[in-house]
Amino acid sequence: MTFTPPASHTSRPTLRGTFGMSASTHWTATATAQSVLERGGNAFDAAVAAAFVLHVVEPHLNGPGGDLVALVRPAGEAEPVVLMGQGPAPARATIEHFRGRGLDLVPGAGGLAAAVPGAVDAWLLLLRDHGTWELADVLAYAIGYARDGHPLVAGAAATIARVAELFRDHWPTSADQWMPEGTPPATDTLVRNPAYADVLDGLVAAGAGVGPARGAHPPADDAQRAQAPADDALAAHASRDRAPRDDRAARIDAARERWMTAVLPEAAAFIAQPHRHADGADHPGILDADDLATWRASFEPAVTARFRGWDVFKAGTWTQGPALLHTLRLIEDADDLDPASAEGAHLLLEAQKLAYADRDAWFGDAGGAVDIDAFLADDYVASRRALIEPAASAQWHPGSPEGREPVLPPLRTDHASTDGSTGEPTVDRSGQTRGDTCHLDVIDRWGNVISATPSGGWLQSSPTVPSLGFCLGTRLQATWLVPGHPASLTPGRRPRTTLTPTLVSRGDEVIAIGSPGGDQQDQWQLTVLLRMLVGGYSAQQAIDAPNLNTTALIDSFWPRTWVPAGAAVEDRLGDEVIAALEQRGHLVRRAGDWALGRVTAVGRGADGVLWAAANPRGAQGYAAGR
């Protein structure tokens, strides 16, 4: 069956050119990345500059106290590596400690849920190993917006309004930062964060005494910007670590050291005082300086599967990323993969139920996680594919990819709602005040490409540290207080994260793609990828097309419920298709015409032309390039 023809008009064009392309969830970050490219920086310089700007302009979606996953492919290398910016649980973060405080789940808000923040160290590692610019030049954009101000986006203004009572009554430092006039700021209010500007100035100053003084980024030739190819990407990283470090690298390392040993310990000490959490009680945080001293961001191998001639790369099972690979394996031989047909939509929903049931049973970093080869093996994929039936399943059905029985997490069924998660619950006891995530993609003329998803440390995650201008994240809420599960809370182990950027390649063609959206990140990417790789849509046509996702999975965020047979669809999918899904037994929630999916993407076509596209939903994401 052919795909439904794409709309003749898109919300904006797919950008095309040969110089460089940037796309992100906020126009200012996209403009920043493109500015760096225009000034001679490479894709990694641009991504780091944009990422620090995202801390400032999307504080409700990510922050310096959060985390990061990225796929990084330097020019000339065949495969990407994973930039791992997800910190582990603190040493005192034991199941017994949380149970002793009367908790059966890690709260969705408050410092008790803080893992080691990984985003900033990861960005600085990327800049050191693959960038070409000086740290001062890269951070100048974010410092300027933090000190001089930026117009507050509507989403941030709405978030502050929703948590205003919490801030006034329990988190006064957050009220001081985000409601300095005593009331929530209106959209487009000029907002400043001088404390965070000072923090970033301090990182620059930490390296000021290293090597000869330089007033601007040093010149870099094409080989430096492109990063010379290596036979093995991880070997290349290791060789860089062993090589004598130049002054620029030493300056960045000095900033990393200051961040981990001076800045973050100040935040940890602040949240050690009892404060209100999402369960309605006051708890002290348990992250401390020792936890911060023993961890650093790193690079690691990506995992991959092939789909119809394309290689699809994801991070490992400490993320939800391999569930996309499994879904693609489940559906690769199907005749109808059109998300806008009743048959195609049903298949995608049912395949993803199976993939995410395995995610919820087998993914994690705490031991006992599934071996990726077993998970993607032909016989196991075939056995799971055989479970897809014409009617919608209302069962949570994990498999046994290695012959082991899964350790089942608590199944908190929500029969009253078909809503499911469209973000990440963080504050109120109903779970309706949600954070979310950012995404950015950059490709340059030399062939460097990155897909990155930073998140966590939302302004509503935990009380603002007044001297720093930011708060710590709450990623530990994605762990279970049940022994023996791969995602059990375990000191020194990473919580399983929903952050899941994607890189796809075929010969000289490449796609860097991702989306905010918690558990929906890969689901929304899936429909876009199918329309591009199978349906022949342009990137912007695929992003604009009507979307859908299953909600029949265990929410990765507090209060950790699931909705049997639940599905969310955009009304533009059409009454006929929606009625057909309901007849098959799907519990469908109509989300509105433009509500599901916040995908951005950049890439390079077979003709060598670069392209970029961004999500129009929410009127915030933008692409730029030439």
**pLDDT one-digit tens code per residue, 435-484:** 579 999 999 999 999 999 999 999 999 999 999 999 999 999 999 999 99
Q: Which residues pair with 450 in a beta bridge?
A: 72, 442
pLDDT of the residue at 243: 39
Q: What is the pTM of this model?
A: 0.94
pLDDT of the residue at 435: 58
pLDDT band (50, 70, 90) for residue 226: low
Q: Is residue 354 scored above 60 in pLDDT?
A: yes
d(CA 331, CA 388): 10
- Mean pLDDT for 561-576 is 96
* β strands within 210-322, DSSP E: 275-276, 282-283, 298-301, 303-307, 310-314
Q: Give residue-wise pLDDT tens across range 397-430.
A: 999 998 899 888 878 876 555 444 444 444 544 4
pLDDT of the residue at 427: 52
pLDDT of the residue at 229: 38
d(CA 471, CA 87): 15
Residues of the chain with pLDDT > 70, as a percent, come to 91
Q: Is residue 221 scored above 90 in pLDDT?
A: no
> Higher confidence at residue 280 or residue 8?
280
pLDDT of the residue at 434: 52
Q: Is residue 217 scored above 80 in pLDDT?
A: no
- Mean pLDDT for 107-124 is 97
d(CA 549, CA 517): 11
Q: Is residue 360 scored above 60 in pLDDT?
A: yes
* Paired tokens of 107: 């709260």
pLDDT of the residue at 429: 44
Q: Is residue 500 scored above 80 in pLDDT?
A: yes
* Paired tokens of 208: 């000021």
Residues of the chain with pLDDT > 90, as a percent, come to 86
To 10 degrees, the CA torsion angle through 39, 41, 44, 48?
-50
Alpha helices in 78-169 (DSSP H): 95-100, 119-130, 135-148, 154-162, 164-169
Nearest to 156 by CA among 186, 135, 198: 186
d(CA 42, CA 228): 13
